[in-house]
Structures are given as structure tokens and as C-alpha cells.
Amino acid sequence: MVSLHGYLVLAAFLFGLGLYGALARTNAIRILMAIELMLNAVNINLVAFAQYLTPGLVTGAVFAVFVITVAAAEAAVGLAIVLLVARQRGVIEVDKINLMKW
Amino acid sequence: MPVLTLLIVVPLLGLLAILVTPKDRAGAHRKITLVATFIPILIVVYMLFTFNYHQPGMQFVEQYNWIPSIGVSYFVGVDGISLALLVLSALLGFLAALASASIKTREKEYYAWYMLLQAAVFGVFVSLDLILFYVFFELVLVPMYFLIGIWGGPRREYAALKFFIYTLLGSVIMLVGILAMYLADPAHTFNILELMKFPFDPRLQVWAFAALWAGFAVKVPVFPLHTWLPDAHVEAPTPISVLLAGILLKMGTYGFVRIAYPLLPQGAKHWAYAVAILGLINIVYGALVAMSQKDLKKMVAYSSINHMGFVMLGLAAGTPLAVAGAIYQMIAHGLSSGMMFLMVGQIYDRTHTREIARLRGLFTSVPVIGVTLAFASLASMGLPGLAGFIAELFVLLGSYSVYPGFVILAVLGLVVTAAFILRMMRAVLMGEEKEEYRGLHDATRLDLATVVPLIVLLALWGVMPGTLFAMFNTALQQFITHMAGV
Amino acid sequence: MNWQLVTFYILGLVILYAAYRVVTSAVITHAALWLAVALVGVAGIYLQLQAEFLAIIQVLIYVGAIVTIIIFAIMLSPLREIKTEEKDRRGGATRMGRAVASVEWGLAPVAAGLLFALGMTWAYSRQAWPVGSVPPGLITEPLGKSLMTTYLLPFEVASVLLLVAMVGAIVLAIRGQK
Amino acid sequence: MAQYAWVIPALPLLSWLIITLWQKRLPDRGSYVGISFTFLAFVYALGVLWEVAHGAGAHVVLPWAVIGTISPIQINIGFQVDGLTAIMLSVVTFISFLVQLYSLGYMHGDKRYGRYYGTLSFFTFSMLGLVLADNLITLFIFFELVGVASYLLIGHYFERPSAQKAAIKAFITTRIGDVGFFIGILILWSATGTVAFDKLAALIGEGAVAPWVITLGALGILGGAVGKSAQFPLHVWLPDAMEGPTPVSALIHAATMVAAGVYLVARSYMIFYASPQALFWVALIGAVTALFAATIATVQTDMKKVLAYSTISQLGYMILGLGVGNLTAGMFHLTTHAFFKALLFLTAGSVIHGTETQEMHQMGGLIKKMPITGVTFLAGGLALAGIWPFAGFYSKDEILLTAYNSQYPIFFWMGILAAFLTAYYTTRVAFLVFFGEPRDHHRYEHAHESPWMMTVPLVILGILAVIGGKLLLTGEFFPHLILWQPAEELSPNPLVMGLALGSGLLGILVGYLVYGTKLVNRQAVIKALYPLYQLFKHKWYVDELYDWAIVRPVLWLAEAAGWVDAHGVDGVVNAVGAAGVALSSGAGAFDLAVVDGAVNGVAAGTVAVGRATRRTETGQLQAYLLTLALVVVAGLIVFQVMGG
């Protein structure tokens, strides 16, 4: 049988990879993808915890549903922003965009 | 009817309406603001008629659980003192909105912040839960910061930041005091009325009072925490100055009356002498510094410091007359300084200067404005027959038996007050008309509409103080009894 | 060694490898396709956890919608910049250098990712987890019920969020056209 | 009628409101409103006087403010009508009416004509309110309002810097006196818990008030009177107040402003009477002022200035009368003085109107050109000099008689000397202005008699200046009206009467010798008495003294305070720096006790932290993300290790 621990470790490594991607890459779209990876890692955790620790309750799964919803929204708006910035400034590398400094 | 919640919600609805109105709909935001600030006046008038002036305790109470796990609730209610301040806030909120016609840039944002400010101000004066109070108290800061920082004068960012840092610092210290009381009370509640019943350990009272006092004193402002005030005033646009002087300063003194004194009476007694000295310094030092100012608005700002000194002195003395005078002064100063700032604004709109030395002969150039400024100045000087005098009279009458020496010095301070006001009037209003000011247009209907209510109230409460005293008399008695009983 | 464990290991390896390719592959369209693989793998994990409903929407929404729009965005955009592959941070500008002082920038993400994964693993290993197994039974029905009862309000809020996101994305796209 | 005496101040109040709000729409800017309302008030006041003379009276009390509910403190306002009130009401409305009538001509064509009439109404209202007050606080309120009204009227020609200064000076100086008044109220209030005159009188009568309270309270109130009635040492504002239009001067000097101080003492006389020390100070100030101001009046060359100092001197007499314990005499002198001083000022106004100068050396021989003005001036002058049978004689004689019989005869001799000087300078004015050769022919040629609106009041007042004294004493009318139980009935003393009259006549003689004939060489006299002349000419250097000792220090203090406030910031930064250096060298303590100190310290600290941390705020998303991740990992580890 697969133990809870196994799922958790898988999720941790998936998250670590996502984190690395979000930090190491400069292409905004790639960063979005990395974020999706992290969200998935979180979802695995949620579902695993729910199924193992609170059998019969679906709270964790409900959370996962919401996370997926938010991810969809985030992807839509995020891509729109990226495209807009790319169109207006001609760059897509986040290290060249430091609007937040002002 | 949940009138108090309504009072807070109406400006928020106004805020919402402004946010959904497109930016380019010229004038719409202003209209929404006027409506949303006028409705609170109606609500307050309704309250004035339905309020039971002889019944002790809070009225129009509403209480709902908010964060039950730590005993925070949405708990609002008013007694006579808060009611009087609500009258002031509702009125000035509307008048300052009227006077906002000179704001031409980024109107939508301006009015949006304005509505938020108004809601927070009402919230402060009706909250009976410390955390709720604190939230509103802090919430006032944010719109104020932007209102000064965006629509202010040349040094606005400096002034806004200074204002923010000062008041935030005070608030943080205050929060420590609040938490200390929360932890010391066995019931672990933030309910002000409950906390009032608990006799805190005297040692705790002494330092917790100091902490609360510091938080409120920044707002008042008490010497030596006052230096943000002149800068903030000079840079703030006129309507914001009106609110700043008329209402925001009162939040500090209201905090004393509602929280610091009733919750920590022994702490208050311990520090009374020091508070009285600071009050006296406010009076005398404020007047002296005002006399040396070259900028009209700065002078008015320092005169506020002078006036708020009477509130401090009255509260420190703690006799019924003195406290009554102190509360009266909150209202009177709100009206007179509000009017003063309105007048300075009207003059600035026409002459584009606030430098006293550059103004001259306004009695001739703009007679109506001249006369109203003279009225405002005399009101601020504490001329008998106007509300400010009543306040000063009662504070001094009441404090004399406690601090005779201070009172005599304060009375001498009144001469200095008269001197700087008259010097200002001489420089600004009297003298030959200046060539460049010839043909300036005099007060418009709108200008008059903003000041006439203030004139009427200043005169009414100067001639018939009983009408205002009756409003908060019962609450005052409760305050006195509570302070004496512990 | 039972078949469940075997499937888990295979799925795990597929997911991690695909994720690795997502963040490292040189061509961005490849990365998007690898992302789809990783997401399908996660759907498999859900199946294994008896969360069949989640597996289905994982495939439908993530693979069917999100990955698709990412690929669309890349392929349909007129901008060359999006399609050209970027250089790795390692060789890039080092403005961050000042912030992280002595740590070379290129090492920081690796360190962060590894630290996180290993740290979590370590933390998990210090905990005694119940040795139970996944309860049998499908979750679609209870999930649906609780979404319509206990979690009705969040559910509705989520739908509003989606609506707002949709409107927002359209507004942004239109504004870009001008 | 006395029950409704509040109508009397209400009428001018109404007139003020009407003129202020609608002056542009009223015929002649509302002047007729002011005049007619004041006349109605005068008629009503006469009615009240008649009633009071027949034994009526009124005292109406209204609650004003109630503080507290358990043992409420109630402060009342109200008005009371008795003989003192009734006579003052009549005098004030009468003079005010005449002055307003006179102003029709004098102020004609003034650019702030409407405002002038409005303020006059307000002035009258304040004074009438003051007269009716039944307690110290109400009286104080109107006392201040009178001050404001005078401020506005003195500053009527506000284009002139001298008028601006004079207005401020009047207000501030009297306010300094009011500080004393206010402290007096505080003392009495805290000792007795009441400010109502009747209650105070009752308490004092029972002996329930400590003597020192009475004395201090009385001295405080005296401060107010000294300020308003321009007594030494707060007399400095009155001569400067000549900057106002001349009819205003008449009003101020005769009936409203300066009478307020004397009236204040008279109204609270039960307090003074209970304290011999206080009475002594009252008498001393009165006598000193009477003499002191008379000396200055002898050398002034501005016609209005002479009259101003003469007013101060005469007010000194009134205060002296009160001080030696004769309330009736003091108030009697106030009344007669109101007639002849108003008259003198109005004639001065007429002269100024005709010649357009106030400088007496540019006048001369004007009686031929302005016969009515000249004759009425002589009537007023003789009354001022206290010559029988003119009005001033009776009242002055009464005061001197009481002074002679008091504990301190020195005051009597000071009064006699002042009477001599009074007669002298009055004669001097008469000769310089109305007799002799015209010194400025140009002005002389243009001089003309004033229109009827101006001369009618002169004639009315002139008649009163002649017969007023005797008239009021007819049937003991006045002494019955204002009755204060005198210690003993004083029989007329021929010595006193003779000395008073003699000194007056002597003064006239000397004046005649110096100015009417060339028998005495003026320059020689001036040379002989040069130091004294300089002293008088510079008004005993009081103004200079105040400027040097009070005004400048206060201004300097204000500047200093302003500097400290404005430069506190720099000071603190420097202080922090210095303190840092001091600390590092182990030399000294940390001093942050400058304004703004602690706060700026915090601000500086915040800035320093900000400087250090701003490098991390690069605006780059990934940097933030990295930080976040590292913090999470660090937190995780810490949590695991600590939490076990």
C-alpha cells in the first residue's frame, strides 16, 4: 500500500521543481507554468491529507476544486497580462520588468 | 432601526457608487458625495430627536459577534458625548464636501477616499469595542494619507508621510496599552463597557494610561508631539484641513474621554498634573508660536494646538465644569477652526497666496469674505457670545479650584491669543487695497453655504450653551461619577 | 510490492521528470507539452487516491483548458519574443546579486528548490503518519453534495471569480489592441 | 415696563442685524434704521427710568447652563433693573442717539457708512447688555463685546496704519485688564459658587466670604475697570483711540466704553465696599489717574488728544469718588460727564469737520465762523472745569467733599490740583481754537458752521451741560435713584466748595494769562520747565516703557518659540549626532529633550533601516519570491527544531 508519506514526498519534490522554475527562468509564461506545477503539488497534498486523515469527509477535495478554479482564473488573467506587457514593452523577461519598484 | 450601522454604511455605499461610476462622468462623483454626506446629517438629526437625553448609558446599541474566539465584537452605541461629536462630524463632513469644488484633478479617487474617511470617522465615534475602535481609528489614517499626499501642496509627500509616521507610531503604542488591558481583565474582552467595570491594578493603570495617552496625544496633538500638524495642514487641500482640524483632532480627545480616562481612572489621576502642564504648554506655547507664523494656514494650525490645550487642561482638572468645558471645546473648536480653514481656503483660491505679509486690505477687496474671516477669527479668539468662549470659560472656571496657578497663566495666554489673531486680522484684512486684488470676486453662494451653518451654530452655542450642554449632560455626569468612584 | 505501489512509483517518476522538463527544456512549446504530461500524471495520482472526480476535472480543466490556452498564447501571439527561448538566469544579469550578497544568483533557485523539497521530506519524516489506506468509494457524490450545501457560498464566490477573471482577461486583451 | 427691559438692548441688536444683512438695500445704507431704533430704545429707557423712580424694579433670571445631574451646577443669566441700571440705560441710549444723529452729517459720504452705523448699533447693544447684566459672567461677556465694537470703530479708517495700531492697542490693553476681571470672577466663583450680584451681596452681608477672597476678587474686578475706563496704568489705549471717527470718540468717552469700567465697579460695589483695602486701591488709582492725565493734557496740541486725556482725568475722578465710598457721587459725575464730554467731542468734531485739521495751532478765532459750535464748546468747557452753576461743578464737588472727609485727605488735594489743571487746559483749548487771531488763514477762510444734524445735538447737549447738574439734583432725584448707604450724611463744606471753585477759576485765569494775553511768554515758561514739559509731552514715557518691557519681549518670545518649533528638526538631528559622538567617546549623556526629539529619532532610525533594506526592493518578482521561499524553508526548519 502507498503510504501518506509517499504522496507527501512526491508533492514536496514537485513543489521544489516548480519553485526552482519560478526562480530560475525569466520568461513570464514559463514562470506561469512553474506556478501551475506548484499548485498541483499543493493539490496532491490536500487530497492525500483528506483521504488519509479524514476519511469520509471531502473538505480537502473541495479545496482542491477551488484551487483548480483559481488556477484557471490565474492562468487566464496572467496570460492576458503577460501578453499585454509583451506587446507594450516588447519584453517578456521578468528581470527586465521592475514596475513594482515604483 | 440600526441607525449607527446605517451611519457607517451610507458613506461606504457612496464609496461603492463612486467606484462604479466611470471616471469621465464629470461632476457625478461630487454629486454622489454630497448626497452620501448629507444623508448622515439626516440620520443624526433623527437621532437627535429620538435620543433620550435623561437616560444614562449607551443608546442605539447594536452588538454582533465578530471574532468570538478572542472576545471581539461589532459593538456600537452612542451617549451624549458621542452624539455631539457625531453632529459635528456629519456637519463638517458635508460642508467640507461642499467646499471640495476646488478639487479638479483625479476627482473620482478624491471622492472615493473622502467617503472612506467619512465612514471611518463615524466608526470611531460610535465604536464601543476596543478592537473595532482601533480598526476605525487606523482606517482614518489611510484615506488621510492619500488625500494629503495626492491633492496637497508642494511638500505634500513629506507632510503626508510625517503625518502617517507620527500617528501610526502613536497608534502602535496605544495598541500595546489596549492589549495590556485585554490581558489583565479576567474576562478577556475588548468591550469598553465591560472593561470599565474592572478595577485594573494601579501599576498597570499607570503605564497603560501612559501608552494610551501617547496614542491619543499624537492626534490631539499635545506638545511635544505636535509638529506633524502644521505641516499636514499647510499641505492639505482646504476641505481636508477642515476635516483634519475639525474632526480628526477630536478623535484624540474623544479617545481620552471614552477610553483612556474611564478605563484607567487611577492612571489618569496619577498623570493628571503632567497632563495639566502639557495642556498649559499647549495653550501658551501654541499661542506664542502662532504669533510668529508667516503663513496664514500655519498660524491657524498652531491656534488649534492652543485650543486643544484647553481640552487637556479641563480633562486633567476633572471637575464637572472643567470636563464639560473640555467637551464643549471639542465641538466649538471643530466649528471655529473648520470655519477658519474654509476662509483661508477661500482667500487662497482668490489670491493664490497664504503668506500673511503678501495679503492686505481684503476688507475692501472682498468685503463679505473679509467679514466672515473676521467672524471666524473672533470666534477662534474666544469672543464672548460665540461657542469658543463658553468652552474656555467653563474649563477655566472648573479648573481654577484644582490648578489656580495654571489657570491664571492660561488666562494670560488668552491675551496672546487675542494679540496674534488681531495682528493677523490687521495684516490681512485692514490696510489699503492691493492693486492686484482689485476686482477679485467676492464670496459665491457656494462659499456662503459652507460657512453660514457654522456661523449659526457658533452663535447659537455661544449664546445658548444650555442647548449643547443638555445634549451630553447625562453622559458627563456618568463620566464624573465613574471617575470619582474609582 | 503490489501493483498500487508500482503505479505510484511510475506515476511519480513520470510527473517529476515531466516537471523537470517543464522548467528546463530549451524550447517553450516543449515545456508546455511536458506540462500536459505532468498534469495527466497528477490526474493519475488523484485516481489512485480514489478522487476520481478530481482526476476528471484535472484532465478537463488543466490539460484541456489551461495548457491549451498557454499553447495558444505562445503559438498565436505575433510576438517573436514569446517564442524565442530565453537564457537561463545563470548567465543573465545579476542585479539580484546585491540582494543575496555572496550567494551566486544561479545557485539560489536550485538551493531554494532543493532546500524546500528536502526540508519538507525531512519534516514529514519526523511525523508519525497513520498507516491506513485510502477508503474505498467514489467521492463524486459527497463532493457534489457538500459543494451544494456546506460550501455553497465559496462555490458561488468561485464562480464570480471566474467571471471576473474572464472579463478581466478580455478587457486586458482589448486594451492591448489599441 | 421694567419687566421687559430686555427690549432696550434688543432694539439696537435688531438694528445691527438689519443693517448688516441688508444695508445695500436700505435707504441711506440703513442709518435711519439705527437712529430710529436707538431713539425707540431711549424712549423706552426713559419709561423704565420713570417707573424705577417710582419704586419699580425687575430681576429676571433664566437658566443658561446646567452641568451634571446628581448635584447639578447651574449657571444663570438674567437682567436686573434698579436705579443704577435705569439711569445708565437712559444715558447710553440718549448719547448714542445724539451721536448717531450727528453722524448723519459728520460721516456723510464715508465709504463704509452702512457698516459704521451697524457697528454703532452693535456698540450700543453691547453697552446696554452690560448695564442690564445681573451677574459677573454676563457682564464680562458684554464687557468683551464692547471691546470688540470699539475695536471695529476705532479701526474704522483701517487704511491708516495708525488706526490699525490704535484698534489693536485698545483691544489688547483692555483685554489685559479683563484678565484681572476674569481672575476676579474665578476667585469669587471658587469661593462662593455664585456670580450673581444679589447672591454675592447676600453672602458678603452674612460674612460668609473670607476677607481675602473679597479683597482679591475686588482687585481683580478693579483690573477690568482699570482697563476699560483707561485708568493708570492701562490708560494708554484711550488717546490712541482718537484714530476713530470723532462721533465714535464722543460715544466711547461719554457713554459706552469707558463708562463700562466705572459701571463695573459701581455694579459690584458690595464687593468693594466690604473691603477697605480694595477701596483704598480704587481711590488711589482714581486720584493718581486724575492728576496724571491732567498733566499730560496741558501740553497736547491735538484738540482730540487734549479731550482724551481730560476724559482719563475725569474718569479718575469717578473712580476716586467710588474709592472714597461715595457711589452716588461717582455715578453722578459719570452722568454729567457723559453730557459735557459728549458735547466737547461733538464740538471738536464740528471744528474738525469745518477746518479739516485736529491741530490746534492751525486754528484760532473760529468762534466768528462757527458761533453755535463755539458757544456750546464754552458751555461744555466750563462744565468740565467745574465752574458753578455748570453741570460738572455739582458732581465734582460731591466727590471732592467725600474725599476731604475720607481717611486719606491726600486724595482730596490731588483732586484739587487736577481741578486746577483741568480748568487751565480747557481754557487753553478755548483760546487756541476759538479766540485770538487765526493762525492758518487758508483754513480759517474755508471754515464753516456745520449742518443742522450736527448742531442740534450740540445745542441739546449744551443745554444739559449748563443745567444738567442742577436738574438731576432737583428733589434729590439722583441720590434717591442710586442709593448706597453712606457712612454718614455729609454736610456741604464751604471750604471744599471754595477750594474747588477757586482752583477752577485760578486755572482759567492762568490759562487766560498765558493764551489770552501776551503777558506771559510761553516759550520762557517751557524753557523754565523744560524737563517737566518733555515728560508731559511724552506722556510720562509710559508707551515707551510698555513697548520696551512688554510688547517687545512678548514678540521676541513668540519669535523664539516659532524658531524652536521650526528648527526643532535640525536641532534634533544635530543633537542626535552630537549625542552619538558623545556616547562613542564615552563623554556624555544622551540628550533628546528637544521638541520633535524622540519622534525624529525614530524617523531617522526608520530611514536608516530603509536605506539598508531598500536594496532588496528591486521591484523584481523573482527576488520577492526567492525571499518568500527562503523564509518559508527557514520557518519550517525553525518550527521543526523548536516545536519538536
Per-residue pLDDT of B317-344, as tens digits, reads 988 889 999 999 999 999 999 999 999 9
Taking contacts as CB-CB distances below 8 angstroms, the residues of chain C near D634 are none
Q: How far apart are CA D243 and CA D259, in angstroms?
A: 19
Scanning the structure block, which residue is given the C-alpha cell 464730554?
Answer: D341
Q: Do A61 and C53 touch (CB under 8 A)?
A: yes
Nearest to D623 among C99, C116, C122 (CB): C99
Residue B21, C-beta contacts closer than 8 angstroms, at least 6 positions apart: B28, B29, B32, B108
Write down the pLDDT at residue D627: 76
Domain that holds residue B277: 271-486
Per-residue pLDDT of D159-193, as tens digits, reads 888 888 888 888 888 888 888 899 999 988 888 88
Nearest chain A Cα distance for residue D582, angstroms: 39
Select the more confidently predicted residue: C2 or B450: B450
| Widest distance between CA atoms in chain B | 71
Per-residue pLDDT of B203-228, as tens digits, reads 888 888 888 888 888 888 887 778 78
Phi/psi at D179 (5° precision): -60, -45
Per-residue pLDDT of A12-48, as tens digits, reads 999 999 988 888 777 788 888 999 999 999 999 999 8
Q: Where are the alpha helices (DSSP H) in chain A?
A: 4-24, 28-53, 59-89
Per-residue pLDDT of D222-249, as tens digits, reads 888 888 888 888 888 888 888 888 888 8
Q: How far apart are CA A26 and CA A93, in angstroms?
A: 5
Select the more confidently predicted residue: D577 or D375: D375
Q: How far apart are CA B61 and CA B68, in angstroms?
A: 18
Q: At CB < 8 Å, which residues of chain D contact C? A: 615-616, 618, 620, 622-623, 626, 629-630, 632-633, 636-637, 640
> To which H or E segment does residue D67 belong?
strand D58-67
Write down the pLDDT at residue C104: 43
How many helices and strands, by DSSP H and E, does chain B display? 21, 2
Averaged pLDDT score across all residues of chain D: 80
Select the more confidently predicted residue: D269 or A90: D269
Average pLDDT over residues D258-273: 87
Q: Assess if residue B374 is contained within a domain.
A: yes
- CA–CA distance from D268 to each of D254, D426, D496 (Å)? 21, 33, 29
Write down the pLDDT at residue C79: 60
In SS3 terms, B44-113 reads as HHHHHHHCCCCCCCCEEEEEEEEEHHHCEEEEEEECHHHHHHHHHHHHHHHHHHHHHHHCCCCHHHHHHH
Average pLDDT over residues D334-363: 83
Write down the pLDDT at residue C176: 60
Q: Inform me whether the pLDDT recorded for D477 exceeds 50.
A: yes
Nearest chain C Cα distance for residue A8, angstroms: 8
Q: How far apart are CA D88 and CA B100, in angstroms?
A: 50
A98: confidence class by pLDDT, cuts 50, 70, 90: low
> To which H or E segment does residue D578 belong?
helix D552-584
% residues pLDDT > 70 (chain C): 79
Per-residue pLDDT of B126-161, as tens digits, reads 999 999 999 998 888 888 888 888 888 787 777 777
Exposure of D414 in the CB half-sphere (CA atoms within 13 A): 24
Q: How far apart are CA D380 and CA D387, in angstroms?
A: 10
Nearest to C123 among D620, D629, D640 (CB): D640
Q: How far apart are CA D591 and CA D586, in angstroms?
A: 14
Q: Inform me whether the pLDDT recorded for D307 exceeds 50.
A: yes
Q: Inform me whether the pLDDT recorded for D593 exceeds 50.
A: no
D543: confidence class by pLDDT, cuts 50, 70, 90: confident
Q: Assess if residue B158 is contained within a domain.
A: no
Q: Which of B168, B292, B294 to mutate to test the interface with D (most CBs of D within 10 A)?
A: B292
Select the more confidently predicted residue: D592 or B47: B47
- D65: region left, alpha or beta (phi > 0 left; psi from -120 to 50 alpha): beta
A99: confidence class by pLDDT, cuts 50, 70, 90: low
Nearest to D618 among C95, C109, C122 (CB): C95
Q: How far apart are CA B379 and CA B340, in angstroms?
A: 9
Q: How far apart are CA B334 and CA B85, in angstroms?
A: 9
Q: Are strands B72-78 and B59-67 parallel, antiparallel or unpaired?
A: antiparallel
Average pLDDT over residues D609-633: 67
Per-residue pLDDT of C124-160, as tens digits, reads 888 777 776 777 777 888 888 888 888 888 888 888 9
Instruction: Kindly tell me whether chain C and chain B come into contact, counting contact as 3+ Cβ pairs under 8 Å.
Output: no
Q: How far apart are CA B185 and CA B187, in angstroms?
A: 5
Write down the pLDDT at residue C101: 35
Work out how many CB contacts closer than 8 A connect A with D.
28
When divided into structural domains, chain B yields a total of 1
Taking the Cβ of residue C12 and every Cβ of chain A, the question of whether any pair is shorter than 8 Å is answered with yes
Task: Check if the beta carbon of residue D429 is closer than 8 Å to that of residue D511.
Answer: no
Write down the pLDDT at residue C35: 92
Instruction: Kindly tell me whether chain A and chain B come into contact, counting contact as 3+ Cβ pairs under 8 Å.
Output: no
Q: What is the dihedral of CA A89, A93, A95, A100, to 10 degrees?
A: 50
% residues pLDDT > 70 (chain B): 100
Highest mean pLDDT among B343-357, C163-177, D362-376 belongs to: B343-357
Nearest chain C Cα distance for residue A102, angstroms: 17
Per-residue pLDDT of B7-61, as tens digits, reads 999 999 999 998 888 888 878 888 889 999 999 999 999 999 998 888 888 888 8
Highest mean pLDDT among D156-160, D484-488, D601-605, D617-621 belongs to: D156-160
Nearest chain D Cα distance for residue B322, angstroms: 10
Q: How far apart are CA D55 and CA D326, in angstroms?
A: 22
Residue D135 DSSP label: B
Q: Inform me whether the pLDDT recorded for D590 exceeds 50.
A: no
Q: Nearest CA to C23 among D620, A28, A25?
A: A25
Q: How far apart are CA D618 and CA D621, in angstroms?
A: 8
Per-residue pLDDT of D374-388, as tens digits, reads 888 888 888 888 887
Q: Nearest CA to D303 among D250, D252, D229?
A: D250
Highest mean pLDDT among B114-123, B226-235, D578-587 belongs to: B114-123
Can you name the residues that pair with D81 across neighbouring β-strands? D58
Average pLDDT over residues B344-371: 85
Write down the pLDDT at residue B416: 86
Q: Inform me whether the pLDDT recorded for C107 exceeds 90.
A: no
Q: Which of C7, C42, C83 to mutate to test the interface with A (most CBs of A within 10 A)?
A: C42
Q: Which of C115, C121, C125 to mutate to test the interface with D (most CBs of D within 10 A)?
A: C115
Q: Assess if residue B178 is contained within a domain.
A: no
Residue B480, C-beta contacts closer than 8 angstroms, at least 6 positions apart: B318, B320, B323, D68
Q: How far apart are CA B385 and CA B460, in angstroms?
A: 8
Taking the Cβ of residue D597 and every Cβ of chain B, the question of whether any pair is shorter than 8 Å is answered with yes
Q: How far apart are CA D269 and CA D282, in angstroms?
A: 11
Q: Nearest CA to D236 among D188, D303, D283, D168?
A: D168
Q: Do C16 and A5 touch (CB under 8 A)?
A: no
Q: How far apart are CA B126 and CA D475, in angstroms?
A: 69
Q: Which of residues 38-97 of A touch C (CB under 8 A)?
A: 40, 43-44, 47-48, 51-53, 55-56, 58-59, 61-62, 64-66, 68-77, 79-84, 86-88, 90-93, 95
% residues pLDDT > 90 (chain D): 1
Taking the Cβ of residue C106 and every Cβ of chain D, the question of whether any pair is shorter than 8 Å is answered with no
Task: Check if the beta carbon of residue B411 is closer than 8 Å to that of residue B340.
Answer: no
CATH class of A4-96: mainly alpha
Task: Check if the beta carbon of residue D443 is closer than 8 Å to that of residue D357.
Answer: yes
Q: At CB < 8 Å, which residues of chain D contact A? A: 617-622, 625-626, 629
Scanning the structure block, which residue is given the C-alpha cell 482689485?
Answer: B438
Write down the pLDDT at residue B43: 92
Q: Assess if residue B370 is contained within a domain.
A: yes
Write down the pLDDT at residue D475: 65
Q: Which of A92, A93, A101 to mutate to test the interface with D (most CBs of D within 10 A)?
A: A101
Buried b (16+ CB within 10 A) or exposed e, D360-387: bebbbbbbebbebbbbbbbbbbbbbbbb
Phi/psi at D59 (5° precision): -150, 110
Nearest chain A Cα distance for residue D617, angstroms: 7
C96: confidence class by pLDDT, cuts 50, 70, 90: very low
Q: Which of residues 26-85 of C touch A (CB under 8 A)?
A: 28, 31-32, 35, 38-39, 42, 45-46, 48-51, 53-54, 57-58, 61-62, 65-66, 69-70, 73-74, 77, 79, 81-82, 85
C87: confidence class by pLDDT, cuts 50, 70, 90: very low
Q: Are strands B72-78 and D73-81 parallel, antiparallel or unpaired?
A: unpaired
Nearest to B285 among D189, D561, D606 (CB): D561
Taking contacts as CB-CB distances below 8 angstroms, the residues of chain D near A99 are 619
Q: Inform me whether the pLDDT recorded for B123 exceeds 50.
A: yes
Q: Where are the alpha helices (DSSP H) in chain C?
A: 3-24, 28-48, 52-57, 68-76, 80-83, 96-99, 107-125, 140-148, 152-177
Q: Assess if residue B113 is contained within a domain.
A: no
Work out how many CB contacts closer than 8 A connect B with D.
149
Q: Do B477 and D68 touch (CB under 8 A)?
A: yes
C95: confidence class by pLDDT, cuts 50, 70, 90: very low
Nearest to C115 among D618, D633, D640 (CB): D633
Residue B188 DSSP label: -
Residue ranges per structural domain of chain A? 4-96
Neighbouring CB atoms inside 10 A of D492's CB total: 9
Average pLDDT over residues D346-352: 85
Q: Do D620 and A99 touch (CB under 8 A)?
A: no
Q: Rounded to 5 degrees, what angle do the CA atoms B196, B197, B201 make?
A: 85
Averaged pLDDT score across all residues of chain C: 78
Per-residue pLDDT of B458-474, as tens digits, reads 999 988 888 888 888 88
